[in-house]
Amino acid sequence: MSIYSTAEITALMKKYNEIEMDSIIQYASKPEQFLCYRLDGIKASKKYLKDTLSNERYNRGLSKATKEAHYSLKNKKAATDSSFFYCAFSASDEVSFVLNQGENYYNNRIFKIGTMLSGILSSAMTIHFESLNPNNKKGKRKHQKKEPPHKMAFDSRPLVLNTTEDVKEYIKFRCALACRNAACKVLRIESKFDIYEAGIKDDVDALFSKIAEYDLFDSYNKVIGSFSLYVPDINGKLITFELNDYESVEIMLSRLDETLTANMPCFGDVIQTRIACSTKSEQSAVLV
């Protein structure tokens, strides 16, 4: 059972690529729209994530950097009753930030906010990744050479979305794509099966059939363990919901609904999404 089929993922990729192309030439978004940015680590996957199931240092650093971006900008909103960000979603080396509706301090200027977010996340990730380096901790012997800091960089791509349902669809799509890529990585690292030779790297059903065949769901769940949804509460505190704590991305997104409808009644058009699955294998299949 899948959220999106292979064909649906392909169609959504085309749809959102076109939205990115249209959004990048706009000067500003409208107050009733959601301005979203997808920030992608530059060469980060190849350097830190490609050959390991989970890089705890990178994952923790990205989580800290995402939170710092929120707290740096949470008050840059024209309306005092809502946060600058509507939500954020992180997976692998990507973070998607969704800005709240209404006017903000930067007049909703797309280029301005995108470059600012890229700069904040890049510098915050550099700092936090360095702080988590065990080789540079205090107490190391003087003769030990200190490692130079890793310079992290993120590019930023805007998307203008119109409704809360658009936001949820986009997050589900990003999650589905990340989970598909996670299945590819697990098969590449943990089995001798060549997904490229077999021509199934984009085939959701075939990938998860092989994950089941090789009994690799534990490894798969380790890869997706850091995928997280971030939602600000009424006091501006960022609440984190990790994908592994839920049976599916749709159940995780229902927490977005619950938090926002409880804290921000003006977004009362949000509809609760419920989906159930019973076994661990079914859980993993639902995620894509």
Strand order in the sheet with 94-99: 154-161, 34-41, 94-99, 85-91, 228-232, 238-242
> Distance (Å, rounded) from C-alpha 212 to C-alpha 19?
35
CB-based contact 225:252 (threshold 8 Å):
no
What is the reported pTM?
A: 0.86
Residue with token string 């600000």: 232
pLDDT in tens, the chain (288 residues): 457 899 999 999 999 999 999 999 999 999 999 999 999 999 999 999 999 999 999 999 999 999 999 999 998 987 666 789 999 999 999 999 999 999 999 999 999 999 999 999 999 999 999 999 887 766 555 566 677 778 999 999 999 999 999 999 999 999 999 999 999 999 999 998 999 999 999 999 999 999 999 999 999 999 999 899 999 988 889 999 998 877 777 788 787 777 766 654 333 332 232 222 223 333 433 344
63-84 burial string, b = 16+ CB within 10 Å, else e?
A: bbbbbbbbeebbeebeeeebbb
Structure tokens given for 123: 């510098």
Structure tokens given for 64: 């800290």
Structure tokens given for 68: 């710092």
**Of 101, 85, 82, 49, nearest in space to 227 by CA:** 49
